[in-house]
Chain A
Amino acid sequence: MNFISLLALLSFAALAVQLTRFWPRLAFLVILLFTALLVPNLANASANSLDVFSVSLALEPAPRDFITLALALTGALALAMTFQTERAGLAFLFWSWPAWLIAVEVNNFVVAVFAWALGLIAPVLAMQPRRFQRASGAAHYLVLIIVATASLLLANRFMELYPFTPERTTLIQLSVLFLSWGLGLLLALVPFHLWVGPMADEAPLPVIAAILGFGQPVGLWLLFRLLSEYLWLTEKSNLFSLITFAGAAAILLGGFMATVEQRAGRLLGYAAIFTLGFVMLDLGRGTREGLAYAGVELASRAISLTLFAVAIVVGRSSTNRWVRRLAVTAFLLAGFNLLGLRLGVGFSERWNLLLVIASTDVRLLFLVIAAEVGLLIGILRFAENWLRALMPLPESSAVPPAPPEESVPPEPSGAAEIISRPARRKYPYLERGNGADADAVFDQSEFLLGPEARAEMEFQTAPVEIDQEVVELSGAEEPASELESRDSETPVEENTLDTNTNAAESIASTETNVAEPASEQLEATEADRAAAEGSAEKEAKLTSEDDDAYAFEKHMGEIFSNASRRANAWLSRVGARLRPPARRVAHALPSGAFRFVLAVRDLLWLVWRSWRVWTGIALVASLTAILIIAGLTPAVWFERALASFGQPPFAR
């Protein structure tokens, strides 16, 4: 695919996401589709140059590798953003990419800087100020982009002028000054980092990750091209020393600021500054290997920042405890990766740099290690607070003493009838429906299978009066009155299944609280019924309520039941509109096929209803897998980076 087609596809992807952002599932599918289209096309994009308006565009191997990875990660960030309630800025993750693609391909520095700046401005449209109409973090971020762009353009102009007047050495100093100023502002290097915090307060996490993880490396590529074009810049100035100094300062600042930071956006920002410091140290070495290490570090940083943001967004937008646990684990993994505590031999990459620092200045090594500890503390503190907020622990893990018999808590209301177990097995979607839905299911079965099926279902689901029995066994009088009052308030016909559900739930959920004799009697009642019906396994599950696995199963069961209820209602409505030939086809279906169709339908409905759970798990797990694979295969990445960068002319 050539450059124009790629640009068109990127723009079209951004437009499609922009249009579909109000429907999260549709936006999810669109993002998935376009990411799947863009990534392979970019990986196999033509390397031929293209001349447009007197500028030449060519995609070199190193930026192509990075952009391919970054686009895939952008897709992941956008997918995570569909989980948020606020999705107005979703498409701006993609709107930046056409501009950044031009920036890395064009051979004209002025155009490249403008394109980079436009790509950085696009995410501003996804930011929201803290106070209405007031200039704050996002507005100041916009200001610094403009000022930095002006500085870079001036630096470029001075560099262009110097060869014509080599006696004016002031031009070299001015070039380095404006270049440092411009790049320092946009890369958030010390002391130009002050915009990161306020900007992070006003931007969604995925947008921050995109700006810092993908936007900043574009600027570093521009620096690389400048260094390759103007060799005198490194020979006649102390630019490499400046880069090294900026890198060391970024590590220290990022690490120490992260120590006390508890806001997700700011923590992400400081972690990004911290890792950028290592990239700058690698660049400052001025060698081919250093350049390759910087490339590997940038790729690893992009993956880690993405996983960092995705884990927080998915974890905080999901109510499922398993998704949350996975998110916290992925967050910690991303944080450790940013620290350099990587899996397998991936650690060697950062270790190598630390050895170089140690051979240069031991004091600096200690400071860098202190900064690492600082970031580690910040990440662990954030994870601890997150865990506390998401999963509140019980006040006391000890088993509460059994209360005296006379103070047995009342049986929760709603224990009127319990649906029979065979019916629950056969028609699981009846378990938690209400009366109206049950009628709809009966109608549907009669319509599809005939009146016999309805009769069978009504027989199977016939309520069994056990509540009085339970109350008598437990010895509590209050529940009976409660139940009476409830029954008097609501018609039994309409709430039969609902109250059945409540009864089952309440019995299960209050097992740990009720008095020992009462719970024993309840269990005995249940056990008798279970033994009579031959379902001892299910009974065992009922008694292991606190087990997490069972809690998860129960949660999924609720989702499944709700899904089934909605699917049945929908099918009933559709079925009522079927023409006679279709009815005959439906009647002709064998019962096995009917059950299969029902199962498939329920499964699809379940996927539809609980897409956040499945996609959240899939998203976080796949990014974690990428991170682990990247951590385990640094040699492959290093070789790839070495081959991509080739032999830069300024390398020592």
Chain B
Amino acid sequence: MPTLGDLASFFASLTTAEILVGLLVTASILVLVSDWRLSLMAFAVQYLLITVVLSTIVQLEVATVRLIGGALVALMLYITARSIRSTRMRRARQQGWTNVAEIASLFERAPFVIGLPFRLMAVVLVAVSVLSASAQFAFPNAPLLFWLVSLWLCSIGLLLIAITRDALKLGMGLLTFTSGFGVLYLSIDPSLLFYGLLVISDLVIGLAVTHLATAPVQMAARRRGET
């Protein structure tokens, strides 16, 4: 099992360019790929990279808390996604469907409201805008690296929220946004209190998203509290 020292040496071995490329790739996967397993893996790796970035602001022990929080959120999303899938499979089998691939295709509905070419175009546009904005505007008291990382994560998070119709994907976008905001705010106010609150809010957001992804759908009148 890796110790904290191993983790520190791993973090130290990553260059800034590698971190930026890693964040670029993981965030892009979230927007471009529909498969929930790949997205979730990219999401977990993104949390790891953010922890690396944060470890330059706060102590490594403290930064690890966010990694643990991220792992917990990813685990919650994974369990939820598996649960949804198995529920759908069971219902389909009850109705006479037998082939797993057919069942999967039956229930697979694209989690995005736009197709892949448009998503790719959107990611490129966001990347160009972020590079341009970070070069032209400076956030008061924030170093450029953190400003750039924050702008990228917040923008891609908002893009993901805007183009998805899937609750889990929306959750990932939301958590990407909070990660970006956390990086920015901690770079100008590295307080432990804020850091702790950020981790708590991540867990609460994860909980709310998993609830929305698994909540049973009620009749319209019941939903409005009319029965």
Contact = CB atoms under 8 A, between A and B. Distances in A.
A30 interface: no
Contact of A125 (B167, B197, B211): B211
Interface in A317-334: 317
Contacts of B141: 161
A627 B197 CA distance: 39
B190 to A, nearest CB: 12
Contact of B226 (A81, A127, A205): A205
A202 interface: yes
Contacts of A202: 223
A130 B224 contact: no
Interface stretch (B44-52, B61-69, B158-166): B158-166
Interface string A63-104: 000000000000000000100111000000000000000000
A418 interface: no
A132 B217 contact: yes
Interface stretch (A135-143, A353-361, A634-642): A135-143
A142 B224 contact: no
Contacts of B209: 139, 142
B197 A110 contact: yes
Q: How large is the interface on A (under 10, 10 to 19, 20 to 34, 35 or more residues)?
A: 35 or more
Contacts of B215: 127-129
Interface residues of B, number: 45
Contacts of B223: 128, 130, 201-204
B38 interface: no
A114 B218 contact: no
A54 interface: yes
Contacts of B193: 53-55, 108, 110-111
B166 A134 contact: yes
Contacts of B220: 130, 201
Given A146-B205, A206-B225, A129 B189 contact: no
A567 interface: no
B204 A133 contact: no
Contacts of A158: 140
B212 to A, nearest CB: 5
B174 A131 contact: no
Nearest to A123: B208
A602 B164 CA distance: 58
Nearest to A263: B224
Interface string B83-98: 0100000000000000
B225 A205 contact: yes
A129 B185 contact: no
A207 B223 CA distance: 11
A132 B167 CA distance: 9
Contacts of B170: 135, 139, 143
B84 A133 contact: yes
Contacts of A124: 208, 211-212
A146 B174 contact: yes
A329 B178 CA distance: 46
A601 interface: no
A137 to B, nearest CB: 10
A264 B225 contact: yes
A374 B165 CA distance: 34
A130 B217 contact: yes
A118 interface: yes
A309 B225 CA distance: 9
A264 B217 contact: no
Contact of B224 (A81, A138, A264): A264
B90 to A, nearest CB: 14
Interface in B189-222: 189, 191, 193-194, 197, 200-201, 204-205, 207-209, 211-218, 220, 222
Contacts of A149: 201
A110 B186 CA distance: 12
A157 interface: yes
B152 interface: no
A200 interface: yes
A353 B178 CA distance: 41
A631 interface: no
A313 B174 contact: no
A316 interface: yes
B3 interface: no
Given A150-B181, A202-B223, A121 B205 contact: yes
Contacts of B216: 128, 132
14 contacts: A110-B193, A121-B205, A121-B208, A124-B212, A127-B212, A129-B212, A132-B217, A143-B161, A146-B205, A153-B181, A153-B185, A154-B185, A204-B223, A312-B225
Closest 4 CB pairs of A and B: A204-B225, A205-B225, A135-B170, A114-B197
Interface of A: 53-55, 81, 84-86, 108, 110-111, 114, 117-118, 121, 124-125, 127-135, 138-139, 142-143, 146-147, 149-150, 153-154, 157-158, 161, 168, 171, 200-208, 263-265, 309, 312-313, 316-317
Interface of B: 84, 140-141, 158, 161, 164-170, 174, 177-178, 181, 185, 188-189, 191, 193-194, 197, 200-201, 204-205, 207-209, 211-218, 220, 222-227
